[in-house]
Structure 1
Amino acid sequence: MKNPLHSWFLPCVLVLSTWGVHAEKADRAKPMNIEADALRYDDIKQLSIFTGQVVLTKGTILIRGARLEVRQDPQGNQHGVVTAEAGKRAFFRQKREGLDETIEGEGETIDYDSLLDTVKFIGQAQLRRYQGAKLNDEFSGGLIVYNNLTDVFTIDGAPGAGAKGSTGQPGAPAGRVRAMLTPKTDPALAPAPASSTPLRISPELNDAKR
């Protein structure tokens, strides 16, 4: 029988509030730094378009893609939309606050809104949580919305008619959501370490052979 945690198919919409994302709150106020091959800036629209191997950093946030459109409102709030090259996915990473944990996500398009403090992964979307270098939880679907303000994220397997859903993710057909959850370990219930005492022959067994 297969482990249900490794092939758990969920309804089209999944809402988890107990995962406790808690990403770095200070990232919202950090400056947005961007590198790319080219930039086109429209001062009237307050629109910057970066193209070619785009790398965005903002505090602990790292986003990579092929094209990035950034708008800024009069209050200084930034809204960025990153798209990947054809056949690839854009990449997102952010550290969790006060913990040695990291959130990573991918999608054909990544939509970041500093005002709402949300990140949307659109098309072939995937979200992962690491403890140190160890993968703990993994989710995939057609659309993932991660809200840092409410510590809630939602996953939708079919965000629209004709959408590809989670096709391409192992075990998850189009229109479905897939999740892999690692059980939380209680240190008190951890098995005792194996004894390092070397094995020896029992005297009773030796006597029985004589």
Structure 2
Amino acid sequence: MRRSHLTLVLAAWLLLSSAPALAQSQDASQPIDVTADQLDLDDRAGTAVYTGDVDIRQGTLQVTGDRVEIRRNDAGEVSRITATGERAYVEQRPQPEDELMRGWGRTIIYHVAERRVELIDRAELHQARDTFDGGYVEYFLDRRVVQARSEVEGSERQRVRMTLNPEQN
């Protein structure tokens, strides 16, 4: 397939299937910009796998990693984004008035419909001025709920650490 044709097919696939669900409402109307060294797209399986210094951006949402897989559900909407790498990264401003949420881990799984982020292995979450570290950190964007554990399957124990900063007047 010619590169320009592949680019158009990919852009249409992403925009038609994911834009309304990926991020906050302002993000959904923004263009999706993807850079990577390689793309493997399987429309029937509903997957797009990007490899090699992947950087995906849409509005306030950014996902980076050595490998990023985007999965669609049966309705054609993006259901899960999985980023892996030595320090995979995700950031998003949950609502326009909110502070930026930033997270790192060797694996990051963003469950789009639930607006839930899992940070796995050397997990680190920064929300406002607070930080959470551990083997596993889970963050619910809309409810602002954090759950952290020291144990992560297949890895050494990584104690949970939390730093909460007082409100500034």
- TM-score normalised by the shorter chain: which range applies? 0.7 to 0.9
The structure having more radius of gyration, on CA atoms, is 1
Structure 1 runs (4+) greater than 6 angstroms displaced: none
Is 2:154 the partner of 1:153?
no
Q: TM-score, with normalisation over the residues of structure 1?
A: 0.62
The superposition leaves residues 45-98 of structure 1 with CA deviations (integer Å, 9 ceiling, x where unpaired) of 1111111110011321111111011111232331111111xxx21111112423
Q: How many pairs align?
A: 145
Q: TM-score, with normalisation over the residues of structure 2?
A: 0.76
Classify 1:96/1:183 alpha carbon distance in 2 versus 1 (closer, same or farther; 3 Å): same
Classify 1:72/1:40 alpha carbon distance in 2 versus 1 (closer, same or farther; 3 Å): same
Q: Do 1:81 and 1:109's aligned partners in 2 also have CA atoms closer than 8 Å? A: yes
Higher strand share: 2
Q: Distance in 1 between matches of 2:77 and 2:156?
A: 31
**Which ranges of structure 2 fall in alignment gaps of 5 or more residues?**
1-22
Identity over aligned residues, as a percent?
30
Q: In the TM superposition, what is the alpha-carbon distance from 1:27 to its structure 2 partner?
A: 6.1
**What SS does the corresponding residue of 1:93 show, helix, strand or coil?**
strand
The superposition leaves residues 15-40 of structure 1 with CA deviations (integer Å, 9 ceiling, x where unpaired) of xxxxxxxxx73267456542211101
Q: Do 2:48 and 2:71's aligned partners in 1 also have CA atoms closer than 8 Å? A: yes
Q: Match for residue 89 of structure 1?
A: 87
Q: Give, as a single letter, the amino acid of the residue that structure 2 aligns with 1:144.
A: V
Kindly indicate whether structure 1 or structure 2 has the higher relative contact order, using CA contacts under 8 Å at least 6 residues apart: 1
CA RMSD, Structure 1 to Structure 2 (Å): 2.1
**Which ranges of structure 1 fall in alignment gaps of 5 or more residues?**
1-23, 131-135, 167-175, 188-210
